[in-house]
Amino acid sequence: MASLNPVRGTHDLLPEARRRHRHVEDTGREVAARYGFAEIATPIFEFTEVFARTLGDTSDVVTKEMYTFEDKGGERITLRPENTASVVRAFLSNGLQQQLPLKYFYNGPMFRYERPQKGRQRQFHQIGVELIGVAQPQADIEVIATGADILEALGIAGDVELEINSLGDTASRDAYRAKLVAYFEGHLSALSEESRERLTRNPLRILDSKDEGDKALVAEAPIMTDSLNDESRAFFDTVLAGLETAGVSYKLNPRLVRGLDYYCHTAFEITTTTLGAQGAVIAGGRYDGLVQQMGGPPTPGVGWAAGIERLAMMAGDPTGAPRPIAVIPVGGEAQTPALALAQRLRRQGFSIDLGYSGNMGKRMKRANKIAARAAVILGEDELARAVATLRDMDSGDQTEVPLATIEDHLAPYK
């Protein structure tokens, strides 16, 4: 018999955890809407080509981490490891090229086969934004400011730091790649086997190597900003000036890169040390070459993704669980009127708990257990006089109120 435990790297979101996740989702959705981002939802799985084509056949995600399978129709299907490629695929397959610019917010589960650790699971959840169709640096500023404002709304802006770099345009990137290759070829024997393979295919990925020997070489490697041409510098300067105008503080990180060729200009991460080792809670950048790489026309884009698990751990549960009103029937004759009253109050927007059985004492214990704000007690005597006993569960004060106007008396507990 199969284990009844969840699969390694997945976890159940019980009510408290789900409430924290939803707080992050709702906050992200609300703040993104202020910037004009509309919500989009893409399928959880796509044809494998969507990700293999965009992430690169040699990337760790594609070669080691994707959940890929063949369905009953013989199609190669992959559970999405990230959502930018899915959003761009939706942009292309729905023929939205004539509606640019487009601004999307998303949230949902992603899937990667990697070693589970704090804040990182094999099924994890993200919120993110994508702004498609704007080549000007104002798009980068707005996207980053959206993320910063979401963190501010979550109450964790003081626990994070924005790190930013420029990858430049194609010409700048080519010049940097040539410098990088020349540098690493001079230290070929010290490179790991994996990095030696990357040197010919995509040398920028060496900068993200986890090998300690590679890290020592990377620390002395040329930096991207020294290869920026005048146009790329002007673009980056405009982004930085815009962030200052928007009140978003930042730290320049010349080692921050993106290894995929469709990334250009702005690359950024918002990191924290509050969860142990430094880790990114938001990561993003400009990807002007992605739409074309997926078969569409040249179309600029910029966006970011944020891990809900990490944000939820940092933000906690500031609102707490909702506190209901307990409707408590006393005696068999009160059961039906109590049900009718509970339904009436629910339809008026009240959160109502109606116990299923038990005497008055047991029902009051349940009301305490669920942290009810108030209890509405209905006995035969009260019903005969068309009243109910209303008890404030915090103070213990109680009074009789007319059933006809009970909503007015319960308004403070809504």
Predicted local distance difference test score (pLDDT) of residue 59 = 56
**307 pLDDT above the threshold of 60:** yes
Residue 140 banded pLDDT, cuts 50, 70, 90: very high
**Average pLDDT over the chain, rounded to an integer:** 90
**187 pLDDT above the threshold of 60:** yes
- In order of their start, the domains of the chain are 15-169+229-315 (3.30.930.10), 325-413 (3.40.50.800)
For residues 413 and 325, the answer to whether their CB atoms sit within 8 Å is yes
Predicted local distance difference test score (pLDDT) of residue 16 = 87
Predicted local distance difference test score (pLDDT) of residue 119 = 59
Give the mean model confidence (pLDDT) for residues 133-144: 97
Q: Report the distance separating Cα 408 and Cα 412, nearest Å.
A: 8
**170 pLDDT above the threshold of 60:** yes
pTM: 0.87
Q: Report the distance separating Cα 197 and Cα 57, nearest Å.
A: 13
H-assigned helices in 326-413: 335-347, 360-369, 380-384, 406-410
Give the mean model confidence (pLDDT) for residues 366-395: 93
Give the mean model confidence (pLDDT) for residues 98-116: 92
**382 pLDDT above the threshold of 60:** yes
**358 pLDDT above the threshold of 70:** yes
Residue 4 banded pLDDT, cuts 50, 70, 90: confident
Give the mean model confidence (pLDDT) for residues 347-364: 88
Predicted local distance difference test score (pLDDT) of residue 288 = 94
Q: Report the distance separating Cα 371 and Cα 97, nearest Å.
A: 52
Neighbour count for residue 301 (Cβ, 10 Å): 26
Give the mean model confidence (pLDDT) for residues 280-287: 94
**374 pLDDT above the threshold of 80:** yes
Least confident of 24-38, 242-256, 310-324: 310-324
Predicted local distance difference test score (pLDDT) of residue 118 = 65
Q: Report the distance separating Cα 64 and Cα 55, nearest Å.
A: 12
Residue 62 banded pLDDT, cuts 50, 70, 90: low
Least confident of 58-67, 98-107, 270-279: 58-67
Least confident of 95-99, 105-109, 354-358: 354-358
Give the mean model confidence (pLDDT) for residues 8-28: 92
Q: Report the distance separating Cα 57 and Cα 62, nearest Å.
A: 6
Predicted local distance difference test score (pLDDT) of residue 61 = 60
Residue 336 banded pLDDT, cuts 50, 70, 90: very high
Share of the chain above pLDDT 70, in %: 95
For residues 363 and 372, the answer to whether their CB atoms sit within 8 Å is no
Share of the chain above pLDDT 90, in %: 65
**57 pLDDT above the threshold of 60:** no
Predicted local distance difference test score (pLDDT) of residue 78 = 94
**184 pLDDT above the threshold of 70:** yes
**42 pLDDT above the threshold of 60:** yes
CA angle 76, 79, 83 (to 5 degrees): 120
SS3 (DSSP) at 124? strand
Q: Report the distance separating Cα 414 and Cα 328, nearest Å.
A: 17
Per-residue pLDDT tens for 196-234?
A: 888 887 788 888 788 888 888 888 889 888 899 999 999
Predicted local distance difference test score (pLDDT) of residue 128 = 98
For residues 125 and 108, the answer to whether their CB atoms sit within 8 Å is yes
**60 pLDDT above the threshold of 70:** no
H-assigned helices in 42-156: 48-55, 60, 84-93, 137-153
For residues 221 and 207, the answer to whether their CB atoms sit within 8 Å is yes
SS3 (DSSP) at 64? helix
Predicted local distance difference test score (pLDDT) of residue 388 = 94
**58 pLDDT above the threshold of 60:** no
Q: Report the distance separating Cα 156 and Cα 139, nearest Å.
A: 24
Residue 356 banded pLDDT, cuts 50, 70, 90: confident
